[in-house]
Amino acid sequence: MKIEWNKVTWYSKVAAVILGVGILLLGMYIGVMYQRGLDAIELVGQLELDQPAIAQKKTVSVYGFEQIGNIKNMATGDVEEDIWVLIYERPGESALTKGLIFTTNSRCVIRGNEGFCNTAEIEQGNRVMVMGALTGGGVVIVERLEVR
């Protein structure tokens, strides 16, 4: 059998047409996928612009009372007596105080360790953040206390 390299046969024409159509379809497919990617990027960009940044959103406290101040034990010296108060300020007002009631559900963060509130570990005059529920008598039932 002798091979004639210059002779174009019918099957070589069919193979060339199939190859050409395949390249055309592959190019169209890649173009469509590229356009979809651009559309998705544009859509995501619009979504990010429509929403305010996290820093601009208002935060809502889950506690009825939340203040930063200094903590003081007003006890007169009796062993059983523990009268804790928070001394804090508000703009335009003199120092304010709120009585603090610690319960078995109160949680304290002291020196980075969170646990139940052992008032023996709290030092007089510490800067603290108190979060809790304000009672009708103006006393705060402490839910969380963080030493600053």
The pTM (predicted TM-score) of the whole model is: 0.55
- The ranges assigned to domains in the chain are 10-55, 65-147
Quick: pLDDT tens for 91-144: 888 888 989 988 888 999 988 888 888 888 888 888 999 999 888 888 888 899
In this structure, how many other beta carbons lie within 10 angstroms of the beta carbon of residue 108? 20
Class of domain 65-147: mainly beta
Query: CB under 8 Å to 134, separation ≥6 — which residues?
Result: 64, 65, 98, 140
Least confident of 3-7, 36-40, 109-113, 123-127: 3-7
Q: What is the mean pLDDT of residues 11-16?
A: 87
In the numeric block, the tokens 């009372």 are attached to 65
Q: 80 CB contacts (<8 Å, ≥6 apart)?
A: none
pLDDT tops 60 at residue 49: no
pLDDT digits (tens, 9 = 90+) for 52-87: 555 655 666 666 888 999 999 887 766 666 788 999
Q: What is the pLDDT of residue 18?
A: 95
